[in-house]
Amino acid sequence: MNPVVQHFFDQSTSTLSYVVYEAPGSKAIVIDSVLNYDSKSGRTATIAADQMVRFVKEHRLQVEWILETHAHADHFSAAPYMKQQLGGRIAIGSQIKVVQQTFKHIFNLGQDFVVDGSQFDYLLNADEKISFGALSFKALFVPGHTPACMAYEIGDAIFVGDTLFMPDVGSARCDFPGGDAQQLYRSARTILSRPPKTRLFMCHDYPPNDRPKAYETTVGAQQQGNIHLRDGISEQQFVTMRFTRDQTLEMPVLILPAIQVNIRAGYLPPVEDNGIAYIKIPLNTL
């Protein structure tokens, strides 16, 4: 059975989030929700998440899973808020433990921050398949952008995270800690080995040439037209391109605060003795 997909676009972070379900009144999952964050004031808001909450309630959906494709560097996850409002279990790939270990050191998070993934309700293994109502999702391990990236295959659809972008944008960077262009190439080829009509849903879109924002493409369109990963481009060509290009890119605006929140499953850092939570900013490191 193929799913019904409703997308949501957060303009400030160019992030796409999804509610995936069978029909009104059915079981559902949420993928890559966004908690709004104002870096100037340090305030969070639930504007983007509330759009998803309203949709779920209007369609009488029962959320069973709140999935993350990876620990995002460009937006805060709204997973805890979604769980509070709608129920469900927060899940991510089991290799998040590797990411947590890396960033625990970078941010010097201390002994109270454990690196076993227990901040999440559930850790998904490669190729694990889980049902929600009449539908099911399969967790595809697609490392490269980060060591813990997952894509989710549901019927004729795959939610690719940052493994692929729209064909005219190409692929995600691989220069974050633990990133690996060779792995990303192989992960992309895994997705692009699916039938040409397979629907691919993006996590971001950064349109060139002022084209309208887009969120969906197909395996066939990627095979023919992806500027970085179309058929005929070798692994070595991709790795060389990715390394050269990544050296020219600035860090995402929200990477330092977002990573600290997202390796905690979207929960804010614990409040200190004055009742306030703080984000740490390491100087002269990244």
Contacts of residue 78, defined as CB under 8 A and 6 or more positions apart, other chains included, come to 33, 34, 35, 46, 48, 49, 266
**Mean per-residue pLDDT of the chain:** 96
**Confidence label for 137 from pLDDT (cuts 50, 70 and 90):** very high
Residue 210 is predicted with a pLDDT of 86
Gap between the Cα atoms of 126 and 247, Å rounded = 30
Percent of the chain clearing pLDDT 70 (strictly above): 100
pLDDT in tens, 78-133: 999 999 999 999 999 999 999 999 999 999 998 899 999 999 999 999 999 999 99
Q: pLDDT digits over 200-250, tens only? A: 999 999 999 889 999 999 999 999 999 999 999 999 999 999 999 999 999
Give pLDDT, residue 285: 75
> Domains along the chain?
4-262 (3.60.15.10)
User: In whole angstroms, what is the distance from residue 30 CA to residue 17 CA?
Assistant: 8
Q: Using one digit for the tens of pLDDT, what is the confidence trace for 17-60?
A: 999 999 999 999 999 999 999 999 999 999 999 999 999 999 99
Give the pLDDT mean for 244-257.
94
